[in-house]
């Protein structure tokens, strides 16, 4: 009985999470005048860019490195430093976000290559976007679910990993992801196919907790 109740609760939580994720991933485009101001060295404009993208960049790096907050912070700093230094080279030939996410991708992949062996100890962290009205049990379930998903993603090959993170942390289209990664939309589709199936197989034990009626 309790298990059935927990399953139903997880189902509801999942649906709420879907809606919340879509809201969170609403794009916050930076307009041309802001970019031009950044190119002139306007630190207030740069702060606007930072505020618009910092959580996405940090979240991608955090998931890429399986919850390692220190590495995620370093990568976030590196990305925005590089952005600041090279923004004069941005010529509006592509979307600003495409250019930014290329920096994120390269930073993550470069760091991965430079780390030959590492151990991560997941740190306890508050999930900032949980519904404050959720019960403690619901929050626990949500944390456990998200933690399980992050662990599986962190063990995927780097190219799969960055592809799925770009998709789910900024809801980029396949074409946009392809531009960031320098590959075709078909390759993006293939990688997401594999990533989705890996998640489903590794976390098949959670399938019973989710209602399928959609």
Chain residues 135-164 in contact with other proteins, contact rule CB under 8 A: 142, 145-146, 149-150, 153, 164
Figure out which of the listed residues 6, 48, 154, 198 binds other proteins, where binding follows CB under 8 A: 198
Stretch that binds other proteins, among 66-74, 92-100, 112-120, 131-139 (CB under 8 A): 66-74
The residue among 163, 142, 139 whose CA lies nearest residue 63 is: 163
CB atoms within 10 A of CB 188: 23
The residue among 69, 149, 60 whose CA lies nearest residue 97 is: 60
Chain residues 36-55 in contact with other proteins, contact rule CB under 8 A: 39-41, 43, 46-47, 50, 54-55
Figure out which of the listed residues 30, 56, 99, 100 binds other proteins, where binding follows CB under 8 A: 56
Q: How far is the CB of 16 from other proteins (least distance, A)?
A: 11
In contact, 100 and 169? CB cutoff 8 Å: no
Cα separation of 206 and 41, whole Å? 50
Q: How far is the CB of 12 from other proteins (least distance, A)?
A: 13
| Through-space distance between the first and last CA atoms of the chain, rounded to whole angstroms | 24
206 binds other proteins (CB under 8 A): yes
Stretch that binds other proteins, among 92-100, 104-112, 114-122, 165-173 (CB under 8 A): 165-173
Per-residue tokens: 157: 């090959």
The residue ranges that bind other proteins (CB under 8 A) are: 14, 17-18, 21, 24-25, 39-41, 43, 46-47, 50, 54-59, 62-63, 69, 72-73, 76-77, 80-81, 84-85, 88, 125, 127-130, 142, 145-146, 149-150, 153, 164-165, 167-169, 173-174, 185, 189-190, 192-193, 195-201, 203, 206-207, 210, 212
């Amino acid at each position: 009985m309790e298990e059935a109740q927990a399953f139903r609760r997880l189902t509801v939580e999942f649906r709420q999470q879907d809606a919340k994720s879509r809201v969170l991933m609403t794009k916050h485009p930076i307009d041309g005048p802001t970019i031009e101001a950044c190119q002139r060295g306007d630190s207030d404009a740069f702060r606007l860019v930072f505020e618009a993208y910092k959580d996405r960049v940090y979240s991608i790096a955090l998931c890429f490195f399986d919850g390692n907050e220190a590495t995620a912070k370093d990568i976030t700093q590196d990305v925005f430093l590089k952005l600041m230094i090279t923004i004069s080279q941005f010529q509006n030939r592509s979307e600003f976000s495409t250019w930014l996410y290329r920096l994120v991708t390269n930073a993550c992949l470069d760091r991965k290559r430079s780390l030959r062996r590492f151990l991560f100890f997941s740190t306890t962290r508050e999930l900032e976007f949980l519904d404050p009205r959720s019960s403690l049990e619901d929050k626990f379930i949500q944390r456990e679910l998200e933690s399980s998903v992050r662990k599986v993603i962190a063990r995927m090959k780097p190219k799969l990993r960055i592809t799925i993170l770009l998709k789910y942390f900024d809801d980029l289209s396949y074409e946009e992801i392809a531009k960031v990664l320098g590959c075709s939309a078909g390759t993006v589709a293939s990688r997401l196919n594999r990533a989705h199936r890996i998640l489903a197989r590794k976390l098949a034990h959670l399938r019973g907790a989710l209602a399928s009626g959609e």
